[in-house]
Amino acid sequence: MPTPEAHVPVQDYRIGPLDTVSITVFQEPDLSVKDVVVEASGTLSLPLLGKTQVAGLTTSELAADLQAKYGARYVRNPQVNVTITNPVSQQVTVEGNVIQPGSYPVAGRMTLLRALASARGPTRMAALDEVVVFRVVNGQRMGALFDVNAIRKGRAPDPQIMGDDMVIVGFNAVKGAYRDFLQTAPVFAIFRNF
């Protein structure tokens, strides 16, 4: 039986400004480049082609584009391989009740559990059944609610996190009030409302 995660559609990483890429043209070392940073304009300077727009393309789309361009004028049946050696343009922001809130790079296949792990995990007061992921879809901001406990137990798929997503972990008011009570009770040594 496949795991629930197997049903989650995976979207390829899209190259963006300041990502570092390597491009290999098989048996053409003069056309290959290693560890080149994409300019802020989203372009790379490539041998024979000059400035080439690469931002917004996946590695396979860029490879196909370069094969067509090199094949049309310079190399017979070129085989191009593109790898992202340092992805930095796509970030996920993790906020709320996590140990280390902040922005983290989306490298490889980032999932919700991996995003939470990047933020060093949820706090003790986190409401793991109230984790919201915000994302822009077709120019509209949308959100989805996830239950991390169900994901951890395999009852729900671990959703893919994409660049510019925002993950917000909710606050468990009961746990928080109980913890606040425990922290203040020894100091005052009296019964208090909480």
Query: Which domains does the chain show, CATH number per domain?
Result: 20-86 (3.30.1950.10), 90-179 (3.10.560.10)
- Other C-beta atoms closer than 10 Å to the C-beta of 75 total 18
Tell me the mean pLDDT in the region 43-53: 93
Three-state DSSP class for 185?
Answer: helix
Q: What is the pLDDT of residue 179?
A: 52
87's tokens: 């992805």
- Full-model pTM: 0.61
What is the DSSP secondary-structure string of 19-70? Answer: -EEEEEETT-TTT-EEEEEPPTTSEEEETTTEEEE-TT--HHHHHHHHHHHH
Nearest to 17 by CA among 88, 85, 65: 88
What integer pLDDT is reported at residue 53 of this predicted model?
94
Q: Are 165 and 135 in contact (CB under 8 A)?
A: yes
Antiparallel, parallel or unpaired: β 91-96 and 166-171: parallel
Cα–Cα distance measured from residue 33 to residue 146, given in angstroms and rounded to the nearest whole number:
42
Interval 96-122: pLDDT, tens: 999 999 998 886 678 999 999 999 999
The tens digit of pLDDT for each residue in 72-83 reads 888 889 999 998
pLDDT band (50, 70, 90) for residue 140: confident
